[in-house]
Structure formats: C-alpha cells, structure tokens
Structure 1
Amino acid sequence: MNKGLKPLWLLVLLAVLVALAGASIAIGSRSVSWSEIVGALGGSADGLGQAAVTKRITRTALAMLLGAALGVSGAVMQGVTRNPLADPGILGVNMGASLAVVVGIAYFGLWTYTGFIWTAIIGAGITAVFVYIIGSLGRGGSTPLKLALSGAAVSAAASSFISAVVLPRGDIAGNVRSWQIGGVGGASPAAISQVLPFLVVGFLICWASARSLNALALGDELAAGLGENVMLVRAFSALGAVLLCGAATAVAGPIGFVGLVVPHLCRLLIGVDHRWLIPFSALSGAILLTAADILGRIIARPDELDVGIVTALVGAPFFIAIVRRQKVKEL
C-alpha cells in the first residue's frame, strides 16, 4: 500500500469504531432511543434509560480495550515467533492464564481484579515459555505447525486441569464456567480502572518493539547483523504481548481468535511493517470484538451470546484456512 494512504485507513478504522460504539450503546435487550442516550450522557434521562446507557458505555469501552489488546498481542506473538498461526488462544497462553486464575480462586481465595490480573499474567508468561520450549524440540526447531500443536496440547491439558479443580467446588463452579466462555457482559468501571494500567504498559512495550520486530522478520542472523540482540528483542516483545493477553483474560475470560484474525487482515491491508501493523491491529481488534459483542446481542435477543462464542464462530474457519495454506507452503 502507498505509505500516504495508511493514515487515511487509520482514520477510516477509527470512524468505523466510533460508529460501532454508538451501535453498541443503542442495541440491547431493552430498546434505547438516541434521545435517551443523549439524555443519559447529560444526566437527565429516566432511571432505566440512565442505567442501560451507563452499563452499555462501560461494556463498550471494555470490549474496545480488550479487542485492541488481543489484536496487538497476536500481532506481536506472530512477529516474535515468525509464526502465522501464533495467537494467545491457539498457543495456549489464554488457557494457561485461566488455569492460574482458577487455581488462585479455588485455593488462595483470590477475588480482587488486581489479584486476577497479576495471577493471569504470571500464568500466561509461564505457559508462553513452556509452549515455545516444547515447540522448539526436535528437528527443525520451532516450526509454525509444531508450535500450534504444542499450544493445542497445552491448552487441552490446562482445560482438563481447570475442570479437575472446579468440579469438586460447587461454590465457584457456576461463576468460573461463565467466565471461561469469555465475555464482556460483566464490565464495570472498577474492572476498567484496574486493567487499564497493565494494558497501557503492554501497548507501550509492543510499540517500542516495532522496529526490532521488523529486523527479526529478516531472520535471526540478519537481525543480529543489524545490531539487534535477538534474545532480548524476543523477551521484551513477548513481555508486552503476555501483559496484554494476560490482563485481558483476567477481566473477560479466554477470548480466542481475535489475535489470529486481526493481524492477518491488517497485513493484507498495510503490509508487514510493525510500526503500522501494531496501531492497525489495535483498532481492528477493537472493531472486531465490539462488533462480535453487538452480534451476540442481536442473534440471541432478548438473551445474548457471549463474545467468546461469536469470535470462535468467526475465527475457527479462518484458522482452518490458514493451516491449510501453511501446509501447502511446507509441502
């Protein structure tokens, strides 16, 4: 793409996100008119309208933040591993964070957002390292397919451990199962205020890594020849990605496929330069998760589908297509 068009596309994505934010506030189990929205924002709406609008604003803000976090996390993970199949869900990182949180709830009385976030980040980091080590064993090192298979195996194991922890604990089973699906329906100002600092730090680390990730894409030897410390670049970039996906998982549960779909679509639009890919992935991830949340409210009205189910329905066919394409390349 012509470099001069990239800022224009950013503005287009921003306009789409603003439109979706308005739709997200307007759409729900209770019909809310635009006059009620304006009135609620001005503090003059009736009680029901005020409550509905306030809750939807908080929910929309959380969906945009977490969508941006997952989109950027996926883009950076794909850059760090040079693996088109990398994604916090597919590599098992989200499920590792979930296991850590569930263990914390069941055995250590963990019930604060700050505790959830720190525990999820630690669990995500340990899982990311473990999956990378397992996927690097054997001939050929860490190929995309080996990493994806390692992530799938670790994810399945973590899911089994979660079930083993939760099943005997009827006092936490209902809440944990609901959280495991992945959703933003429980959004609150407290959740946003607690997770925001972690997301900001994660975004800044990923943004600071953009130029080094471009060098890493050329191969380890060329990157080292350009003056990059390859191991340090990988560790620093991965830290940003783990902060983003761990914090997002702590607040909303394991939401899959956003980090896989978004970077691929952005590369088709603007190329592989991470200095542009990261902001594009942030906006596109926010758009995807907000749109998925709106769709979940529409297709199951007056109930709703959690956003994790909607992203899985969208992302699973996309993942299959990428795997088939990657297999053809390897052959």
Structure 2
Amino acid sequence: MPVKSRTAFRTALEFTLSVTKSPPAATPPRDQPPPRAGHAASRAAGLGVAALALVVVVVLSIAVGAKPIPLTQVWASLTDPGAVDYAVVHEMRLPRTLLGLLAGLALGTAGAAMQALTRNPLADPGLLGINAGAAAAIATASLLFGVGGGTGQVWFALGGAAAVTVGVYAVGGGRTATPARLALAGAALNAALYSYVSAVMLLDSAGLQRLRFWTVGSLASADDATVRRVLPFIAVGLVAALAAARPLNALALGDDTARALGARPAWIRAAVIAAITLLCGAATAACGPIVFVGLLVPHLVRTLTGPDLRWLLPYCALLAPVLLLGADVLGRVLGRPGELQVGLVTAVLGGPLFLWLVTRTRTARP
C-alpha cells in the first residue's frame, strides 16, 4: 500500500475511534452549586416566614379597629380579665380574627386543590358552583323558614354546597368525569343558582338587607358560636385536602400515568371534591362568598413553590389568611368611623393584583 494511502487510512481510523469513544462525564462548573441543593430547606424556611407573617397580621387584626388598641396592651387584653379592652378583644376582635383565619385557610386550600383537580389555572372555589349552592340554600332557608343565622345557616349552606357538588359530579360524567366537563357543568349551575339568589332577594323584602350584606362577604358578624360551628368542617376538609396532595401530584400527570403509579383517579376526584365542599361550604356559611382569595393566592404561591402540592397546599393555608385578614384590617382603616366589608376589599385589590400577575407571567415566558 502506498505511503499516502496508509497515512490516510490511519487518520480515518483514528478519527472513527475518537468519535465512537464514550465522552467523559460532564462536570458542573465549580462556581455553580449542585442543582436544587437545599431546595427543601429553603421551602421549609419559607413556611416559617409565612407563619411569622400570619402572626403579625393576626396581631394587627386584634389591635386595629374603630378603637385602636396599643400593641403593648394587646397581650394584656387577651389574658387579663381586668384589662380595659378585655371585652372589646374577646367579644369582637378575637372571634372576627379567628373566623378570618379559618375562612382564609379554607378558601386558599380549596382554591389550590380546585386548580389542581380541574387543571385550570383560573379555577376558584366558585367554579364547581359550590359557593353558589351554599348561597342558594341560605337564600331559600331565609325565604321559606326565616333562617337568618346560627347553626341552621351552616347546615343549610353545607347541604346546598354538597347537593350542587353531587349534581356537578353527576352531570360531568360521574366516575368518568373529566376536568373540562366538571368545569362546564359547574359554570352552568353557578350562573343559574346566582340568578335564583337574585330573584329570592327581590321577593323577600324583609330579608333583602340581610342577604345583601351576606352576599358581599363580611367578617363583622363573627362571634364565638360561629367559629365553633365551622371549625370541625374546616378541620376535616383541611386534613383531607393535605392528605390528597401526593395523589393529586400523580393525577396531574394524566389519568393513565396516575393509574400506572397505583392511584385511582375517580376516587381521588371524589375525595378532593368532598374536601373542597367542606371547606367552601363552611367558609361561605360563616362569612358569605368572598372572591379572589382562592384564585389569587395559589398563583402567587406557585411562583415560590412550583406545582408540587405537598408544598403548595401548606403555603396557601398560611398565606391566604394573611391576605384575607390584611384586607379586613384595611377595610376597617379606610372606612372609619364605619368599615368596608372584606369582600369588597378583596375584590378591589384582587382584580389589579391578578392582572399584574397574569401580565408578569406572560412577559416572563420565552
């Protein structure tokens, strides 16, 4: 073989061997940390910050009102029956704060679970008609039975929410229900039921003012009895929602993938809908339908935690009461000597905040 041919053959052989060799494992640059290092620790620290923010807002809710209470006297008013402001704190401020805490926790958790269940980022507790069912039941109880509050209102609200939830689940396909069909069925029933509530308000002139005040959403009528009535339902709904976090993560991958992972999509949906019914029914019965809390908070939290519901749900349970109680405090300050209902404040604040969030998310996309 000529010298030039042997040289060309050797060069080609060396090139082929160099291509077929396994490349060395890529090592990350020394100036960059390993991916996701300490991610769980940072999320846990974030939960601590959220809990601290909730404590601050709770203190402000007790201290701020028509009669401002200095922060130095807040603890004395909570513990000393002889304190000057003991009656104001224990009969008005503390029940109102506890109810806002429970309602915010319920609405935020239910909103996050609803968005995960329906795979709809615009879902909120009213999407399946749950709030509308509770409102329709209370309007009917007020018109036919004269029920204006107390335990009867809570049971009517829970019954209406449960009835509408079962109806939506049946219309949406039952065990074969899909997120799209559930959303469409809920939207249709939601519109019909709120039209019915408006008609009842026009027919019942005696209860018109009471229903109008309730449908706006307010914490002003809170008392110890109301807190005790709704606490068991919200506690059970919260435990059920948190227990469903891992199955909902599997369901987000699709029904087929969820089944391959051992999950049962139909049972997961039924359990989550039951939890949402308890949370939204109790919150709506206690303080009326409050908008934007269940819609806005999960979007804000998702920018911190991502879509993992094992972290998303606890964050929403802590930060949704921060938003609701903060809006209630703001309504008391802006409306002096009266107050603005918390439902009005969340509606006014929630709209611009949600538009800002949507615009920010859209511009951040490639």
- Normalising by structure 2, report the TM-score: 0.80
Aligned to 1:186, which of 217, 221, 236? 221
Deviation at 1:219, TM superposition (A): 0.7
Deviation at 1:166, TM superposition (A): 2.3
User: Structure with the greater relative contact order (CA < 8 A, sep ≥ 6): 1 or 2?
Assistant: 1
Q: Deviations over 1:138-190 (max 9, x none)?
A: xxx644xx876765554333222112112222221111111110011111000
Is residue 97 from structure 1 mapped to residue 145 from structure 2 by the alignment? no
Aligned to 1:207: 242
Aligned to 1:195: 230
Q: Deviations over 1:95-143 (max 9, x none)?
A: 221111111221134345332223222322333455567678xxxx644
Paired residues of 2:110 and 2:294 also in contact (CA < 8 A): yes
Which runs of no fewer than 5 residues in structure 1 stay unpaired? none
Mapping of residues 13-92 of structure 1, within 5 Å: 13-41=50-78, 42-46=80-84, 49-54=85-90, 55-92=92-129
RMSD of aligned alpha carbons: 2.7
Is residue 160 from structure 1 mapped to residue 195 from structure 2 by the alignment? yes
Aligned to 1:122: 159
Paired residues of 2:65 and 2:333 also in contact (CA < 8 A): yes
Aligned to 2:150: 113
Q: Rg bigger for which structure? A: 2
Aligned residues between the structures: 322
Paired residues of 1:77 and 1:87 also in contact (CA < 8 A): yes
Q: Deviations over 1:286-310 (max 9, x none)?
A: 1111111111111222211111111
Q: Deviations over 1:212-254 (max 9, x none)?
A: 0010010111011111111010000110011000100001001
Deviation at 1:89, TM superposition (A): 2.9
* 3-state DSSP of counterpart to 1:45: coil
Identity percentage over the alignment?
44
- Normalising by structure 1, report the TM-score: 0.88
Paired residues of 1:183 and 1:307 also in contact (CA < 8 A): yes
Separation of aligned partners in 2, 1:295 and 1:242: 29
Distance 1:309 1:52, change over 3 A: same
Paired residues of 2:217 and 2:288 also in contact (CA < 8 A): yes
Distance 1:257 1:151, change over 3 A: farther
Aligned to 1:221: 256
Is residue 307 from structure 1 mapped to residue 342 from structure 2 by the alignment? yes
Separation of aligned partners in 1, 2:320 and 2:248: 20
Once the two structures are overlaid, the 10-residue window that deviates more, 318-327 or 281-290, is 318-327
Aligned to 1:245: 280
Separation of aligned partners in 1, 2:290 and 2:100: 11
* 3-state DSSP of counterpart to 1:235: helix
